[in-house]
Amino acid sequence: MIAGVIRRMVLWRGLEEWTAEAARVEIGDDGLRATGTQLGSHRLPYRLDYALDATGPGFATRHLRVAAAGENWRRSIDLLRDETGRWHCNAQQEGEVALAAPGLAAEAAAAGLAAPGFTAEAAAALGPEALDCDLGLCPLTNLMPIRRHALDRARGAHDFTMAWVSVPDLAVHADRQRYEHLAPGRVAFSQPTGFAAELELDDDGLVVHYPQIAERV
């Protein structure tokens, strides 16, 4: 059970990439559950369905299940963070498609299948300090680190390591991110790559506008 639950149905549309997303979300005082569908054309047309359980302490991820499918291919991951903070991933795929292998990047790198730019060393950095998953092009998963530290309401800045799931390939690797409170309902997001954006949030901490990525419908 999630204490003090609020139920939301949220829609987003992509800005620079064509995407459409719908999510049913249950937000509580200390966690959330959500199911959603994302349609996109990043790299190639796809449909993606996900189920998220972030009911660990302080909105920490327990489980993310994602299934992606396109023309003549499909793949899925079950991403789990256990009670010791260790991440586990079961990946499956069917069909031939020019995408990186799904699953943990360290395992893909060992098999010579890692996505360009992602190394086994980067994947190995996905340790107990990584509390959250982050699904590519999905505004929902920004909520967990923001709500954990009340950055939508109170001053502060925090650095995070995320289990980032790229789409539509579903490769999982460590990603460094920083969130900083700017004003009520406004949070700065940045990465070591130089990418930065100012997120506009609603009263529940859900993204209303994410420059270059998505906006609420």
Q: What's the rounded mean pLDDT across residues 16-35?
A: 97
Task: Extract the tokens encoding 155.
Answer: 């001053």
Query: For 26-57, how does the pLDDT look when each residue is reduced to its tens digit (9 = 90+)?
Result: 999 999 999 999 999 999 999 999 999 999 99
Residue type, 40: G
Domain extent at residue 75: 6-216
Q: What's the rounded mean pLDDT across residues 159-171?
A: 97
Task: Specify the pLDDT at position 127.
Answer: 87
What is the distance between the alpha carbons of residues 121 and 174, in angstroms, rounded to a whole number?
A: 9
Residue 132 neighbours by CB distance under 10 Å = 25
| Number of structural domains the chain divides into | 1
| DSSP conformation class of 156 | -
Residue 87 lies in a domain: yes
Query: For 97-144, how does the pLDDT look when each residue is reduced to its tens digit (9 = 90+)?
Result: 999 999 997 555 554 444 444 444 444 568 899 999 999 999 999 999
Q: Nearest 5°: phi and psi at 197?
A: -155, 150
Give me the residues paired with residue 54 across strands: 32
Residue 1 lies in a domain: no
Write down the residue that tokens 């498609």 correspond to: 97
Residue 130 lies in a domain: yes
Judge whether 132 and 163 are in contact, CB under 8 Å.
yes
